[in-house]
Amino acid sequence: MSGHEKTLLPSKVIFKLAWRNLWRNHRRTLIMLSAITLGVWAMIFMTSLLRGMVDDLLYNGIRHLPGEVQIHQRNYRDDPSINNSMPPADAKLLTALNMPRVTAWTSRIKVSAVIASERDSRGVILLGVNPQSEVKLGFDLDSISSGRFLQSTNDSGLVIGAKLAERLETRLGKRVVIMSQDPKNNIAERGFRVVGIYRGKLASQEEMNVYAGLQTLQKMLKLGNQISEIAITAEDYRNTHQWFPVIKNATEDPLQALPWYEADSYLSTMMVTMDGFVLVWIVVVFMTLSFGLVNTLIMAVFERTREIGLMQSLGMRPTLILYQILIESFLLLLIGLVAGNVIALLTIIPLQDGIDISGVAQGMEMMGSSSVLYPALKLKDMLLANVIVIVLGLLTSLLPAWHASRLNPVEALSRN
């Protein structure tokens, strides 16, 4: 009798057995594959819709800030008054602002003011802007419903929201008076002609934000070249943390640079919540799948009890039986994943131009979301869905696989 040499893992025969056993009961395998495919599709497709919706909310929110990073005088956030203005960007900051990652930046004045028409008056936020860089930063010229946007920093006109115009009972071409405070706490006022009316995404924005030329306001408020803030934007708000340190390092006291996720905790919470929600969604879909998967494997083991006893009696170690069932499960999951991913891509790609949800999206518009939903397919989400299905799938397969490996060969062989 030779020694009891330890057998190496005979992966080829195990793989062959797993693959052929998978197709022994075509119907059951195909039903399970359909379920996995549908589940994976649902994970990826629904996640891309949710991501698209939240991306839209975040994008609009960041645009409203505006910008992914803002620079203010340190006390400005606590007291956003004209007394907490700041000087324009110095050479060091300009170098940072002109780095390739930054797609646009602008200097602005942002103060509280009162606007009065012939009929009514309202409190507003008065924005002194550079029109060219403001557009690059995100002001949508298509939102101008009548008239025009500002043309230069010296433009003497005023652009107001449609809602505000309605409240003031004024219209394009009419004169209005703006009143605010200068740095010495004296009343500063000036008459403007309404040169443009815009439609905002948010009703509150349309009613509150009033745009004037930057230099026009600096003169009116006797600010010299002082500004309230610098707003900066880049390509993807998710990558702000990568380039923000450059801006931060170029910002010297008393100025303070803040990324959007610190400037608006609601938006950052929304993003984190979304990541958590995606994970919960994927796990919940998987759990419904796992019942089918475990049932399929238990049935497969039950039907092959005698065969498993035979393989044990021929010298197949219990661990190899366990591997075989796990590989069978892995193959089932893999085929389902590939099919699910392909179908998800095939259904998401044609929807890249957006899904019109205006019929059901009035409530969403109030929250700052658009009436067109753009599915956002993220590699990270696809990977997460795939990894969860494979890892949890194999974990849930451990039970039937372990059961198979622990069968008593004599009892298994006597099973009909």
Q: Which is nearer to other proteins, 301 or 311 (CB)?
A: 311
Q: Which is nearer to other proteins, 44 or 321 (CB)?
A: 321
User: Closest separation between CB of residue 7 and other proteins, Å?
Assistant: 6
Q: How far is CA 85 from CA 218, 307, 320, in A?
A: 11, 82, 73
User: Closest separation between CB of residue 414 and other proteins, Å?
Assistant: 9
Q: Which is nearer to other proteins, 30 or 349 (CB)?
A: 30
Q: Which is nearer to other proteins, 2 or 185 (CB)?
A: 2
Q: How far, in Å, CA of 228 to CA of 47, rounded?
A: 39
Q: How far is CA 56 from CA 62, 100, 135, in A?
A: 10, 25, 18
User: Closest separation between CB of residue 398 and other proteins, Å?
Assistant: 18
Nearest to 252 by CA among 80, 89, 83: 89
Q: Which is nearer to other proteins, 210 or 311 (CB)?
A: 311
User: Closest separation between CB of residue 4 and other proteins, Å?
Assistant: 4
Binding site for other proteins (CB under 8 A): 1-8, 10, 12-13, 16-17, 20-21, 24, 306-307, 310-320, 408-410, 413
Q: Which is nearer to other proteins, 9 or 203 (CB)?
A: 9
Q: Is 88 helix (H, G, I), strand (E, B) or coil?
A: coil
User: Closest separation between CB of residue 397 and other proteins, Å?
Assistant: 19
One-letter identity of residue 86:
M
User: Closest separation between CB of residue 409 and other proteins, Å?
Assistant: 5
Task: Please report the DSSP string for 200-223 in residue order.
Answer: -SSHHHHHHEEEEEHHHHHHHTT-
User: Closest separation between CB of residue 314 and other proteins, Å?
Assistant: 5
Tell me the torsion sign for CA atoms 265, 270, 274, 280. positive
User: Closest separation between CB of residue 310 and other proteins, Å?
Assistant: 5
The angle at the Cα of 288, spanning 286 to 294, to the nearest 5 degrees, equals 90
CA atoms within 13 A on the CB side of 243: 21
233: Cβ–Cβ under 8 A, 6 or more apart, which residues?
62, 66, 67, 68, 69, 102, 103, 104, 105, 137, 138
Count of residues making up the chain: 416
Q: How far, in Å, CA of 332 to CA of 390, rounded?
A: 10
One-letter identity of residue 356:
D
User: Closest separation between CB of residue 395 and other proteins, Å?
Assistant: 23
Q: Which is nearer to other proteins, 13 or 383 (CB)?
A: 13
Q: How far is CA 81 from CA 116, 184, 203, in A?
A: 20, 12, 24
Q: Which is nearer to other proteins, 8 or 187 (CB)?
A: 8
Q: How far, in Å, CA of 405 to CA of 403, rounded?
A: 6
The 3-state secondary structure of 23-73 reads CCCHHHHHHHHHHHHHHHHHHHHHHHHHHHHHHHHHHHHHHHCCCCEEEEE
Q: Which is nearer to other proteins, 3 or 350 (CB)?
A: 3
Q: Which is nearer to other proteins, 225 or 319 (CB)?
A: 319
Joined together, the tokens standing for residue 169 give: 């009972």
User: Closest separation between CB of residue 317 and other proteins, Å?
Assistant: 4
